[in-house]
Amino acid sequence: METTLLPVAPEDEGARLDSFISAHMEGVTRSAAARLLAEGQVLLNGKTAAKSARVAAGDTVSVTQSEPVETELAAQDIPLSIVYEDADVIVVDKPVGLVVHPAPGHADGTLVNALLHHCGDSLSGIGGEKRPGIVHRIDRDTSGLIIAAKNDAAHQHLAAQLADHTLARTYECIAVGNIRDDAGTINAPIGRHKTDRKRMAVTPDGRAAVTHYEVIARYAGFTHLRCRLETGRTHQIRVHLAHIGHPIWGDTVYGAKKAVAGLTGQCLHAVGLRFIHPRTGELVECSSPLPEEFVRALGKLREI
């Protein structure tokens, strides 16, 4: 059995329950969500509900899936760069190329496998059997800070912070082209691409997505940005910057047609993470320096 908790954010207010589940759970279609509801596998604030029920900000949706797990996760001795750790949470500086959790094509060798080796049984079970402890994700080809929960109480607390934006994530990136304004906000809904289901896109029927940015430095044909997420949609910064005509340098999905020499993945790094500690209530702030590839890329731009 795998149970996933989905906190309802303000931007999801009024959504149908089956649509909300489909939008928040990868690989779960609206019809599959309806079946789970019909089978009593979904609870809205601890009670069964109809698929047509509407969710409200602050609600919690619990989804239990009884399908057997294809493979048992293995603990693997994969090196971790740990930025912060205590009995409740662990913050890791993820390198480019490391997948966060097992998925088709990546059965092992993931951050989850590494966390299982490092933490043993001390990981939250809320993320499910394939995603123990995972509170949020960053792309395989994006580097930087990611937080995982070591127990269910911590996971629930951090998930609520994601929903109300008190868990703050800051990124730096290199965008192609000269962005005119020194600071700005991109407010454009994001959903699945209509023809390529592996990609995301700005679409009228997508979910609300807001990215704030400010210019750090300008170079010939490139802009070094700091971005702050107000929402956390899949590929959000990458999609938003491509949408305004300034894709991230090295992004072969939303920007360049081929990889940039000297770069592994895109120049996008999670530099900052701020959250309220789930046990002590104290503010915790973590930071990560730019990786070597990112620094070398900036060095090349300075020489142009």
Residue-wise pLDDT tens digits, 184-203: 999 999 998 888 877 899 99
Task: Based on the fold, state whether residues 299 and 186 are members of the same structural domain.
Answer: yes
The DSSP bridge partners found for residue 148 are 90, 134
How many CB atoms are closer than 10 A to CB 219? 15
Reported as a pLDDT band with limits 50, 70 and 90, residue 66 is low
Both tokens of 200, joined, read: 């995301």
Reported as a pLDDT band with limits 50, 70 and 90, residue 76 is very high
Where in the sequence is the domain holding 50, given as residue range(s)?
2-65
- For residue 48, CA distances in Å to 36, 38, 41, 60 come to 11, 9, 8, 12
C-beta separation of 176 from 126 below 8 A: no
Task: Based on the fold, state whether residues 136 and 151 are members of the same structural domain.
Answer: yes
Q: Diameter of the chain by CA atoms?
A: 62
Overall average pLDDT of the 227-250 stretch: 95
Task: Based on the fold, state whether residues 121 and 183 are members of the same structural domain.
Answer: no
Residue 25 has pLDDT above 90, yes or no: no
C-beta separation of 229 from 263 below 8 A: no
CATH number at 188 reads 3.30.2350.10
Any domain includes 52: yes
Whole-number Å distance between alpha carbons of 27 and 29: 6
C-beta separation of 159 from 152 below 8 A: no
Sign of CA dihedral 86, 94, 21, 274: positive
CATH number at 61 reads 3.10.290.10
Any domain includes 265: yes
User: For residue 48, what pLDDT is reported?
Assistant: 86
Residue 69 has pLDDT above 60, yes or no: no
Task: Based on the fold, state whether residues 59 and 154 are members of the same structural domain.
Answer: no
Within a 13 Å sphere around the CA of 274, how many CA atoms are in the beta-carbon half?
10
DSSP 120: T
User: For residue 129, what pLDDT is reported?
Assistant: 62
C-beta separation of 224 from 217 below 8 A: yes
Whole-number Å distance between alpha carbons of 262 and 172: 18
Task: Based on the fold, state whether residues 156 and 189 are members of the same structural domain.
Answer: no
Give me the catalytic one of 12, 59, 88, 139. Answer: 139
Rg (CA), the chain: 19
Any domain includes 86: yes
Express each pLDDT in 89-103 by its tens digit: 999 999 999 998 877
Overall average pLDDT of the 4-14 stretch: 90
Both tokens of 179, joined, read: 């962005």
* Average pLDDT of the residues of the chain: 89
Overall average pLDDT of the 47-75 stretch: 79
C-alpha torsion 118→129→209→29, nearest 10: 160
Lowest mean pLDDT among 106-115, 127-136, 278-287: 127-136
Task: Based on the fold, state whether residues 36 and 91 are members of the same structural domain.
Answer: no
* Collapsed DSSP state (helix, strand, coil) of residue 18: helix
Task: Based on the fold, state whether residues 266 and 201 are members of the same structural domain.
Answer: yes
Both tokens of 198, joined, read: 């592996």
Task: Based on the fold, state whether residues 44 and 88 are members of the same structural domain.
Answer: no
- For residue 268, CA distances in Å to 2, 25, 263 come to 32, 24, 11
The DSSP bridge partners found for residue 190 are 202, 207
Task: Based on the fold, state whether residues 180 and 299 are members of the same structural domain.
Answer: yes
Reported as a pLDDT band with limits 50, 70 and 90, residue 59 is very high
User: For residue 71, what pLDDT is reported?
Assistant: 42
Q: Which of 21-30, 141-150, 189-198 has the highest mean pLDDT?
A: 141-150
Residue 130 has pLDDT above 60, yes or no: yes
Task: Based on the fold, state whether residues 103 and 219 are members of the same structural domain.
Answer: no
Task: Based on the fold, state whether residues 113 and 47 are members of the same structural domain.
Answer: no
Q: Is 139 a catalytic residue?
A: yes
Sign of CA dihedral 144, 303, 246, 193: negative
User: For residue 269, what pLDDT is reported?
Assistant: 97
Whole-number Å distance between alpha carbons of 207 and 283: 29
Single-letter amino acid, residue 270: A
Both tokens of 93, joined, read: 């500086």
Task: Based on the fold, state whether residues 299 and 189 are members of the same structural domain.
Answer: yes
Domain count within the chain: 3
